[in-house]
Structure 1
């Protein structure tokens, strides 16, 4: 029997991707039994508004730049090619049928887990896929209430948000150590997230 590649699915707006995302994914690869992590850029989270959302192609470019030099990371545009609105169950089903040699695990924050029952076909996600929950401030997880296919990662709490990054960039702050150098270079050169006028 061929061993399947254990692949974590880290989906989000990545508006923009920052060191919190990268450090978390790095930890999950090294400590949570994942062979690799795919960063899937979402066109628009059904629970969010498009305000201040950078063009999806540009967000994908920033992710590609940030993960290019680490072999366990991969940028994916799969949700940009599927019918919209984008629902996680559709993405996971598509990936499973397209890549039968991979064992997919959904990576989500404890904040999302707290309203997971509001997700489209959440029960089917739980039935069909493994879920790995990482910690977010003010959202605790009862590890003993989780089923065998759902586990809570003991990852460091990385309290950095894309909102903070965007606001700081708009104020002209130098955030060189909050972003991967390659994606920060693109942001600086193209004036992304800067105040207009």
Structure 2
């Protein structure tokens, strides 16, 4: 089975994440998508993140109706801060029956050559890239690499940052979230 790993802090997970996961599932050779909730991205300030279990619960609520999209807490068990290569190696050893690939936005591909052991990732794993609106139109160095697959997908310009700010400003965001995710955020008074 070929598993696409969709990494993110998902703070919170929104309809754009689910749209992209479903699109990748139906328009690539991926059999399943695991939405890997990242405990701490080395490039983000930790104090802006909800606790790991709350973000994992929201991903569960957002994906429970999709048979081939699953939340994953695999990175909660790894040393922090963690790097993608460590997760890939860990999963490949733990689940040798599966083939793993990663999903990322085109914005991340622009800086992929700065990731830890990116050469090793490209040697052993496919990278499925969905388009993103980018302010910086610099050339994407690795887009012609044989392991990089550019996928035509809807450009979903929704950000978790916008959702958090809108909630703080008492503006409605229900249309940007799965109903169960919105109910959970509202119940817990998150991002207020």
Normalised by the length of structure 1, the TM-score is 0.91
Q: Does 1:133 align with 2:133?
A: no
Q: What is the SS of the residue equivalent to 2:46?
A: coil
Deviation at residue 54 of structure 1 after TM alignment:
1.1
1:181 corresponds to: 179
Deviation at residue 147 of structure 1 after TM alignment:
2.3
1: distance between equivalents of 2:142 and 2:92? 28
2: distance between equivalents of 1:176 and 1:59? 17
In the alignment, structure 1 segments of 5+ residues that lack a partner are: none
Aligned alpha-carbon RMSD (Å): 1.6
CA contact (8 A) 2:32 2:69 kept: yes
CA contact (8 A) 2:130 2:150 kept: yes
When residues 55 and 32 of structure 1 are mapped into structure 2, their CA distance, relative to the original with a 3 A threshold, is same
1: distance between equivalents of 2:149 and 2:128? 5
Matches within 5 A, 1:1-197: 5-138=1-134, 145-194=143-192
When residues 187 and 65 of structure 1 are mapped into structure 2, their CA distance, relative to the original with a 3 A threshold, is same
Deviation at residue 137 of structure 1 after TM alignment:
0.3
Q: What is the SS of the residue equivalent to 2:174?
A: coil
In the alignment, structure 2 segments of 5+ residues that lack a partner are: none
The more displaced of 48-57 and 139-148 is: 139-148
Which whole-Å deviations, capped at 9, do the CAs of 1:8-51 have from their partners, x for residues lacking one?
A: 00011100000000000110001122111000000111111124
Q: What is the SS of the residue equivalent to 2:13?
A: coil
2: distance between equivalents of 1:67 and 1:30? 15
2: distance between equivalents of 1:100 and 1:172? 47
Count of residue pairs the alignment pairs up: 190
Normalised by the length of structure 2, the TM-score is 0.94
